[in-house]
Structure 1
């Protein structure tokens, strides 16, 4: 049996989540306590030592992120719960952490719990909270800097300077406008989820390209794209039609 805490200032959300856990996960997860703000949550986590914490992002007198910054080491799984905040969700996704979007969905709760329990069993405590907290400190403006987890730490890069990304097994090579390349310890799928809303398209299973830097498209079975870096990138045959439609959108 694993243990959890629910940190949320909305009683309706607490009731919904508690009911789902008790109905569908009662043989896996025990609720040890509830807190409505970060001041009560911090000592509760220290005393109860839960395996999993369901953490609301927006609360009075401090956010869920403020709570996490109180800990030198985070040795529990976190499942964020939030209303629609695209900025926060993008940061959470890029950090490979889990979240539930309110109103809370039963299947999503079950999936998130299963994933968290698997991480508890394998003692896989995420070290990505630093990436998340760095992302959230960036200003919400057009520069849109993101922290890239490179081999020797974190490097902040503006999204609008990324020309394309190339997959390399569990790594991704990120090619920038100035001709430099960053080797990032995240998969290209992670980048696809993060960057699609910023004008990027997965033209091939190994390549994600920024429309801003597409110089030319050449016809073919799938065709090829020439970037402003003079790099020729293949377009997969199955993505060709969707890609050309996307390319012609204003």
Structure 2
């Protein structure tokens, strides 16, 4: 089971923090944000399970990262993702917990404290995801494990599911409909395609092609979804 996270950080410790978190394969980075505006937009778009929010003692810019992000998110979301605050000062801890955050770590991040924080999260969120999707076609119901889906292809108002076994299942609903139901490791790369990044074997930025299943499948990606391609590359590399 994997959990998605966004790292909000404009500090000196961004790279080292990211490297520490990436040691835990159960947590998948879906975005890195360096400004308040970008952070809010990405959280609303990607709906991550966890947000690492870095608060520094020297932030002064108008778009600086601060606890005000939490107040703004409450305007749009009934329930916030799990918030773990990273800070270079102890003094902000009281305010953090008053605002309902789930963890507070000092930067530079201590690997032992991070491990405890993530293990605590995993223990309390074991049943977060259903790994099966129901595909209905002419009264025929197929129950497919998400991990068996290689990619989805839009076909007018229907969607074709291409499975690891080679089987193709068609459903009479749009790609947009299923995109909302799939786990976070599925990314839209084109108007007509959503892929499971677990099967990505190569990405060619020059040709705008994404290769799946050891280069056996070649799908185009469009500039509209280039940010998703960047996220896939970040995760795999």
- Interval containing the TM-score (normalised by the shorter chain): 0.3 to 0.5
TM-score normalized by the length of structure 1:
0.41
Greater C-alpha radius of gyration = 1
TM-score normalized by the length of structure 2:
0.43
More RCO (CA 8 Å, sep 6+): 2
Q: Where is the helix percentage greater, Structure 1 or Structure 2?
A: 1
